[in-house]
């Protein structure tokens, strides 16, 4: 598996929508193993439209989107321009939306985004790019501007291909829940989920604009062809609702069901909740692996609200699992086998139990102790995802190294930097501060978003986060010398949703892995948005392991934020006692500077997994940290 962005269309293998899916899927869906492949396929369609229009001496009109989702596609279009002579001279573009009140040069303005991510790198004509503008006008003037935008689309002959992302609120453009199907370009109020998801970009929820201007659902539906792209597990739930539930204003992407030529283009993680992938036995006859049985039977247990060991033949039949029984097994033996499978995921020995029979344990008992290397994309990740397990590994005698791949400075609030500057000034460091930061202090004070991206300011924020992480890790029994901070360049030179990985990042991770030579590895992000720090970190670690094979045949993925694992996806659950849970809470409280760390939510997630195990009829624990095994050969 190479870096997804290095793949190209000719390598793409894609699954088509079969008749069996039609029962559930109300929109054509294409699923690709990776986002890079999916993006290449859409880029090919766009390039072919542009070229065929060139031959006819006509324009191509594209509807464009922003956010992390279209970036792999824009990079492929830029590559086609540079390497394969694709000209954009006959292209006109209309962007979906823009935040209210942001200057065109604001780091988060979509005008700047489009320049940096596409327009500055291709030969698109000046004046041919259009982005709605929602700034500084009276309501009436705004209404006129919106109407003029619609008119301009019509004058251009309408949109040939419209690209869309999907927000976790279900929005397309900024058509938040409640937007009517007939809506046109207008000013809207942003949904709370949308603002929460943008809070790290804007250094805090309160800085995220409350309103924006967006093309309406009606405007979008008039495009000739619509591609909605989505990557990562965080989108899986809303994608399923849009594709499989009846269309409704609650998830405006569902209105694409009525479009004659709309298509969802997904990576496997974003498609993961679709019935065909999540409950394949409902869609087709399947060959039953042990893992699939675990999934189906735990699903039947949830559906019937019965613990696994109480399921009877009728429950199997009514849950569409009749063929499992028909294969000659009975519910009693299936129940016991599945119960045991779940039971064997539970271990208080995440590094393996010395001298124990390892057959039914998730992790091998030898060698002991192990050298555990725990990677975080941003320094706080592992503490949140597996803080109690880190403590346990250490207590059980393993050698533990925590590796923070990036500085995480984009997550640190401006206020925290200003607080530190104030402290330093109080203890007589004024001169040093002005020497290092110049007028950036004043600019930060007035909320200048550009100042927050200044390298010196970012350095200060890195130092703050580093100090907090050292403190937090010490609460879990990990000394400072067990921590390594890599400050990878892709993060230092980038911003959320717009990172660019280079060889320098790959080399740094590979070198570290070679030096550490671990035999127990933890990382998150295998199903994250591939443009997120976590998605990138996973790809970098995977590439490094391919280069320097480690002395174990698997790695462990811990849970990161929206990547909650369903019980059937879990290969190892480490139970957490109330006392350990409190210890983890204490450690997380020490991470005060992090913009949108939802400590309580993380601690509750650990409780929810334990509750899910309890509902299946397994032992009831206070909380659990959970992991998925990924075979090294699959990386
Ligand atoms: P994202 O945003 O591409 O950054 O995930 C998509 C959207 O909100 O439409």
Using H for helix, E for strand and C for coil, what is the string for 1-41? Answer: CCCHHHCCHHHCCCECCCHHHHCCCCCCEEEECCHHHHHHH
* Residue with token string 């400072």: 480
Distance between Cα 197 and ligand 1 center (Å): 9
CB contact at 8 A, 547 and 510:
yes
What confidence score (pLDDT) does residue 377 get? Answer: 97
pLDDT in tens, 579-594: 999 999 999 999 988 8
Q: Is 564 helix (H, G, I), strand (E, B) or coil?
A: coil
**Closest atom of ligand 1 relative to the 497 alpha carbon:** 4
Q: Of the residues 35, 66, 172, 234, which should be mutated to test ligand 1's pocket, given the most ligand atoms within 8 Å of the CB? A: 66
Distance between Cα 177 and ligand 1 center (Å): 15
Within 8 A by CB and 6+ apart from 435, the residues are none
Q: With bands split at pLDDT 50, 70 and 90, how would you rate the model's confidence at 330?
A: confident
Question: Does a cis peptide bond (omega within 30 degrees of 0) precede residue 369?
Answer: yes
Q: Give, in degrees to the nearest 5, the angle at Cα 482 between 479 and 486.
A: 130
Distance between Cα 209 and ligand 1 center (Å): 16
**Closest atom of ligand 1 relative to the 166 alpha carbon:** 9
Provide mean pLDDT across the span 131-154: 89
| Mean pLDDT across the chain | 91
**Closest atom of ligand 1 relative to the 164 alpha carbon:** 9
**Closest atom of ligand 1 relative to the 229 alpha carbon:** 3
pLDDT in tens, 173-198: 999 999 999 999 999 999 998 998 89
Q: From CA 77, how far away is CA 82, in angstroms rounded?
A: 9
Distance between Cα 455 and ligand 1 center (Å): 26
Distance between Cα 68 and ligand 1 center (Å): 6
What is the C-alpha R_g of the chain? 26
pLDDT in tens, 77-105: 999 999 999 999 999 999 999 999 898 88
What confidence score (pLDDT) does residue 354 get? Answer: 84
Distance between Cα 69 and ligand 1 center (Å): 6
Given a cut of 60, whether residue 165 has pLDDT beyond it is yes
Q: Of the residues 71, 97, 197, which should be mutated to test ligand 1's pocket, given the most ligand atoms within 8 Å of the CB? A: 197
Q: With bands split at pLDDT 50, 70 and 90, how would you rate the model's confidence at 1?
A: very low
Q: Of the residues 38, 39, 67, 498, which should be mutated to test ligand 1's pocket, given the most ligand atoms within 8 Å of the CB? A: 67
Pocket of ligand 1 (CB under 6 A): 67-69, 165-167, 171, 497
What are the phi and psi torsion angles at 342 (to 5°)? -65, -45
Name the residue among 263, 307, 257, 299 with its Cα closest to residue 278.
299
For 362-396, b/e burial (b = at least 16 CB within 10 A) is bbbbeeebbbbbbbbbbbbbbbbbbbbbbbbbbeb
Provide mean pLDDT across the span 599-614: 90
**Of 444 and 521, more confident:** 521
CB contact at 8 A, 480 and 468:
no
**Catalytic site includes residue 34:** no
Catalytic residue among 76, 98, 150, 176: 176
What confidence score (pLDDT) does residue 234 get? Answer: 92
What's the half-sphere exposure (Cβ side, CA atoms, 13 Å) at 42? 33
Find how far residue 369's CA is from the centre of its chain: 34
Given a cut of 80, whether residue 12 has pLDDT beyond it is no
Q: With bands split at pLDDT 50, 70 and 90, how would you rate the model's confidence at 21?
A: low
Q: From CA 597, how far away is CA 408, in angstroms rounded?
A: 12
What confidence score (pLDDT) does residue 283 get? Answer: 87
Which secondary structure element, helix H or strand E, spans residue 404, and what is its range?
strand 399-404
DSSP letters, 446-504, are TT-TTGGG-HHHHHHHHHHHHHHHHHHHHHTT--GGGEEE---HHHHT--TT-----HH
pLDDT in tens, 225-264: 999 999 999 999 999 999 999 999 999 999 999 999 999 9
Provide mean pLDDT across the span 144-155: 95
What confidence score (pLDDT) does residue 8 get? Answer: 33
**Closest atom of ligand 1 relative to the 67 alpha carbon:** 4
The protein residue whose alpha carbon is closest to atom 7 in ligand 1 is 167
Q: From CA 291, how far away is CA 268, in angstroms rounded?
A: 18
Question: How is residue 172 annotated by DSSP?
Answer: B
What's the half-sphere exposure (Cβ side, CA atoms, 13 Å) at 497? 23
Count of other CB atoms within 10 angstroms of residue 58: 12
Distance between Cα 600 and ligand 1 center (Å): 25
Strand order in the sheet with 211-214: 97-99, 211-214, 186-189
Provide mean pLDDT across the span 269-295: 91
What confidence score (pLDDT) does residue 599 get? Answer: 75
Given a cut of 60, whether residue 16 has pLDDT beyond it is no
Q: From CA 551, how far away is CA 544, in angstroms rounded?
A: 13
Q: From CA 186, how far away is CA 225, in angstroms rounded?
A: 22
The protein residue whose alpha carbon is closest to atom 2 in ligand 1 is 67
What confidence score (pLDDT) does residue 369 get? Answer: 93
pLDDT in tens, 389-435: 999 999 999 999 999 999 999 999 888 988 988 898 898 888 887 88
Strand order in the sheet with 520-523: 483-485, 399-404, 371-376, 520-523, 554-558, 623-631, 572-576
Pairing of strands 225-230, 262-267: parallel
Within 8 A by CB and 6+ apart from 327, the residues are 288
What's the half-sphere exposure (Cβ side, CA atoms, 13 Å) at 615? 17
Distance between Cα 205 and ligand 1 center (Å): 16
CB contact at 8 A, 117 and 76:
no
Given a cut of 80, whether residue 485 has pLDDT beyond it is yes
Q: From CA 450, how far away is CA 532, in angstroms rounded?
A: 21
Q: From CA 611, how far away is CA 218, in angstroms rounded?
A: 43
Distance between Cα 66 and ligand 1 center (Å): 7
**Closest atom of ligand 1 relative to the 194 alpha carbon:** 8
Q: Of the residues 167, 188, 226, which should be mutated to test ligand 1's pocket, given the most ligand atoms within 8 Å of the CB? A: 167
Q: How far apart, in Å, are the Cα atoms of 33 and each of 36, 269, 342?
A: 9, 8, 28
What confidence score (pLDDT) does residue 284 get? Answer: 85
The protein residue whose alpha carbon is closest to atom 8 in ligand 1 is 167
**Closest atom of ligand 1 relative to the 173 alpha carbon:** 9
Q: From CA 221, how far away is CA 296, in angstroms rounded?
A: 38
* Structure-block tokens of residue 198: 């943008």
DSSP letters, 275-338, are HHHHSGGGTS-----HHHHHHHHHHHHHHHT--GGG--HHHHHHTT-HHHHHTT--HHHHHHHH
The mean-pLDDT minimum among 19-23, 65-69, 282-286 falls in 19-23
What confidence score (pLDDT) does residue 136 get? Answer: 67
What confidence score (pLDDT) does residue 597 get? Answer: 67
In this prediction the pTM is 0.92
Which secondary structure element, helix H or strand E, spans residue 572, and what is its range?
strand 572-576
Distance between Cα 168 and ligand 1 center (Å): 8
Q: Of the residues 69, 238, 265, which should be mutated to test ligand 1's pocket, given the most ligand atoms within 8 Å of the CB? A: 69
Q: With bands split at pLDDT 50, 70 and 90, how would you rate the model's confidence at 320?
A: confident
Distance between Cα 204 and ligand 1 center (Å): 17
Distance between Cα 166 and ligand 1 center (Å): 5
* Structure-block tokens of residue 277: 């992938």
Q: Of the residues 71, 165, 562, which should be mutated to test ligand 1's pocket, given the most ligand atoms within 8 Å of the CB? A: 165
Given a cut of 70, whether residue 507 has pLDDT beyond it is yes
For 546-560, b/e burial (b = at least 16 CB within 10 A) is eeeebebebbbbbbb
Q: With bands split at pLDDT 50, 70 and 90, how would you rate the model's confidence at 4?
A: very low
The protein residue whose alpha carbon is closest to atom 1 in ligand 1 is 67
* Residue with token string 């994250």: 528
What confidence score (pLDDT) does residue 182 get? Answer: 96
**Closest atom of ligand 1 relative to the 70 alpha carbon:** 3
Given a cut of 50, whether residue 6 has pLDDT beyond it is no
Q: How far apart, in Å, are the Cα atoms of 89 and each of 54, 58, 116, 179, 501?
A: 9, 11, 18, 35, 29
**Closest atom of ligand 1 relative to the 168 alpha carbon:** 8
DSSP letters, 129-158, are EE-----S--HHHHHHHHHHHHHHHHHTT-
Q: With bands split at pLDDT 50, 70 and 90, how would you rate the model's confidence at 18?
A: very low
**Of 456 and 43, more confident:** 43
Find how far residue 522's CA is from the centre of its chain: 18
């Amino acid at each position: 598996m190479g870096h997804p962005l290095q793949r190209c269309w000719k390598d793409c293998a894609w699954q088509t929508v079969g008749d069996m899916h039609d029962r559930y899927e109300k929109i054509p869906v294409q699923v690709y193993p990776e986002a890079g492949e999916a993006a290449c396929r859409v880029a090919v369609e766009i390039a072919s439209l542009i070229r065929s229009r060139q031959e006819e001496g006509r324009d191509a009109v594209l509807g464009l989107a922003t956010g992390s989702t279209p970036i792999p596609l824009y990079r492929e279009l830029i590559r086609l321009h540079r390497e394969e002579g694709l000209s954009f001279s006959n292209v006109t573009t209309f962007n979906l939306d823009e935040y209210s009140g942001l200057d065109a040069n604001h780091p988060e303005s979509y005008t700047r985004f489009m320049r940096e991510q596409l327009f500055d790198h291709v030969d698109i004509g000046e004046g041919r790019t259009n982005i709605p503008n929602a700034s500084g006008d009276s309501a009436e003037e705004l209404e006129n501007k919106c109407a003029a935008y619609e008119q301009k689309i019509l004058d251009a002959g309408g949109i040939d291909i419209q690209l869309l992302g999907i927000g976790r609120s279900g929005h397309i453009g900024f058509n938040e829940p409640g937007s009517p199907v007939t809506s046109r370009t207008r000013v809207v109020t942003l949904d709370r989920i949308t603002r929460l998801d943008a809070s790290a970009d804007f250094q805090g929820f309160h800085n995220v604009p409350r309103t924006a201007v967006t093309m309406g659902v009606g405007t979008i539906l008039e495009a000739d062809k619509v591609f909605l792209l989505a990557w990562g597990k965080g989108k899986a739930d809303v994608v399923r609702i849009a594709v499989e539930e009846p269309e409704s204003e609650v998830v405006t992407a569902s209105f694409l069901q009525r479009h004659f030529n709309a298509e969802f283009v997904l990576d496997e993680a974003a498609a993961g909740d679709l019935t065909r992938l999540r409950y394949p036995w409902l869609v087709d006859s399947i060959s039953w692996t042990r893992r699939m049985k675990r999934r189906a039977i735990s699903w039947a247990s949830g559906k019937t609200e019965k613990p696994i060991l109480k399921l009877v033949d009728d429950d199997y039949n009514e849950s569409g699992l009749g063929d499992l029984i028909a294969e000659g097994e009975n519910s009693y033996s299936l129940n016991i086998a599945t119960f045991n499978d779940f039971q064997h995921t539970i271990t208080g020995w995440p590094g393996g139990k010395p001298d124990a029979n390892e057959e039914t344990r998730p992790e091998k008992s030898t060698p002991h102790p192990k050298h555990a290397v725990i990677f975080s994309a941003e320094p706080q990740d592992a503490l949140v995802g597996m803080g109690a397990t880190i403590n346990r590994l250490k207590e059980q005698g393993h050698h533990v190294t925590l590796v923070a791949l990036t500085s995480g400075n984009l997550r640190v609030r401006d206020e925290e930097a200003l607080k530190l500057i104030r402290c330093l000034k109080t203890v007589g460091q004024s001169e040093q501060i002005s020497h290092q930061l110049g007028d950036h202090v004043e600019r930060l004070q007035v909320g200048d978003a550009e100042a927050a991206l200044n390298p010196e300011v970012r350095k200060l924020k890195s130092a703050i986060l580093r100090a907090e992480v050292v403190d937090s890790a010490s609460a879990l029994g990990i000394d400072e010398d067990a921590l390594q901070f890599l400050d990878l360049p892709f993060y230092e030179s980038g911003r959320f949703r717009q990172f660019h990985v280079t060889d320098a990042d790959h080399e740094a991770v590979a070198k570290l892995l070679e030096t550490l030579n671990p035999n127990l590895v933890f990382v998150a992000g295998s199903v994250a948005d591939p443009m997120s720090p976590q998605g990138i970190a996973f790809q970098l670690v995977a590439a490094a392991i391919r280069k320097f094979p480690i002395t174990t045949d698997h790695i462990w993925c811990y849970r990161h934020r929206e990547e909650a694992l369903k019980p059937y996806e879990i290969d190892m659950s480490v139970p957490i006692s109330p006392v350990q849970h409190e210890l983890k809470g204490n450690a997380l409280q020490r991470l005060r500077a992090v913009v949108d760390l939802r400590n309580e939510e993380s601690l509750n997630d650990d409780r929810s997994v334990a509750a899910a195990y309890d509902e299946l009829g397994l032992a009831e624990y206070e909380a659990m940290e959970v992991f998925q095994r990924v075979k090294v050969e699959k990386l």
